Structure 1
Amino acid sequence: MFTAIAYGLAIVLNLFVVFIGARFLLQPIASAAGYGVAAGTDVAYLHIKGIRDLSYGILGLALLAFAGAQAGAWMMLVVALNPLADTVIVLRNGGSKAVAYGVHFATAVTVLISSALLFLV
C-alpha cells in the first residue's frame, strides 16, 4: 500500500507537470497569468518554460518506469528547486502572495514529500 501511494503521488505530480508544460506551449498568455506574473505578447520565454516543464514531467515518468523509486526520488528532490524558485520569482515581480505560497511553495513542499516517500520505498 505504501509503495502504491509513493508511486501514485509521484506519477500524478509528473503528469501535472506535463500538463502545465503543454499548457504553456498551447496557451502561453493564460498560463503566465495562472503562474502569477502577467506576460506581454512575446511568448518565447513562456514556451521555454513550457518545454522545461514538459520535459521534466516526461523525465520523471521515465525514471519511475525504467529506473525505479530511488532515481525518481533524486529527480523529485532536484526538481523541487523549480517551484521554490517560482515562489521567489512571483514575489520579486509583484505577483500575488497567495499564488506564490499557495501554488508554488505548496507545490515545492508536495514534491519534497513525494521525494521522501520514494526514498522510503
Structure 2
Amino acid sequence: MTVTAYTLAVVIDVFVLFIGGRFLLQPQAAAAGYGVPARPDGDPAYLTIKGLRDGTYGVLGLVLLILVGAHAEAWFLLVAAVMPFGDTLIVLRHGGTRAVAFGVHFATAVLLLVAAGLLFAV
C-alpha cells in the first residue's frame, strides 16, 4: 500500500503541475479543457493566475512529500480537495457540461480524498 500511496501522490502532484503549465503556455486550450472556455477577448490575467496557482500547488505537494513526508502530503491533499469540489460548482454555474463537472473535477476531488486516505494509512 505504501508504494501505491506514494505513487498516486506523485502522479497527482505532477499532473497538477502539468495543468498549471498548460494554463501558462496554452491558456485558451486549457480553459476549454477546464470546462468553461475563455473568451478570446477576455482578461488573460485570470488564466495566468490559474496556471500559477496550479503550478505552485503541484510543486508544493512534491516538496511536502519529499521533505516532510506522507502525513504532511495527506493533509495537503485533504485540504486541496476543496479546489476541485469548487471547480465542479464553477463549471456547473458557468455553462459547462455536467460530464466535465463531475467526470473531471468531482472525480479529481474524490481521487484526492482517496490519495489522502492512503497516505494517512502509511
Range 33-42 or range 66-75, more displaced: 33-42
The residue aligned with 1:60 is 61
CA-CA distance at 1:40 after TM superposition:
1.4
User: What amino acid does structure 2 have at the position aligned with 1:26?
Assistant: L
What CA deviation, in whole Å up to 9, does each residue of 1:4-55 have, x standing for no partner? Answer: 1000000000000000000000000000000000111321101100000000
The runs of at least 4 aligned residues of structure 1 exceeding 4 Å deviation read none
What does residue range 3-82 of structure 1 map to in structure 2 within 5 Å?
3-41=2-40, 42-82=43-83
* Identical pairs, percent: 62
User: What amino acid does structure 1 have at the position aligned with 2:100?
Assistant: V
TM-score (norm 2): 0.97
CA-CA distance at 1:110 after TM superposition:
0.3
TM-score (norm 1): 0.98
In 1, distance between residues paired with 2:106 and 2:48?
22
What CA deviation, in whole Å up to 9, does each residue of 1:62-111 have, x standing for no partner? Answer: 00000000000000000001100000000000101000000000000001
In 2, distance between residues paired with 1:11 and 1:39?
29
Over the aligned positions, Cα root-mean-square deviation in angstroms equals: 0.5
User: What amino acid does structure 2 have at the position aligned with 1:33?
Assistant: A
**Unaligned ranges ≥5, structure 2:** none
User: What amino acid does structure 2 have at the position aligned with 1:70?
Assistant: H
Local SS of the residue matching 2:15: helix
User: What amino acid does structure 2 have at the position aligned with 1:96?
Assistant: T
Local SS of the residue matching 1:15: helix
In 1, distance between residues paired with 2:71 and 2:50?
26
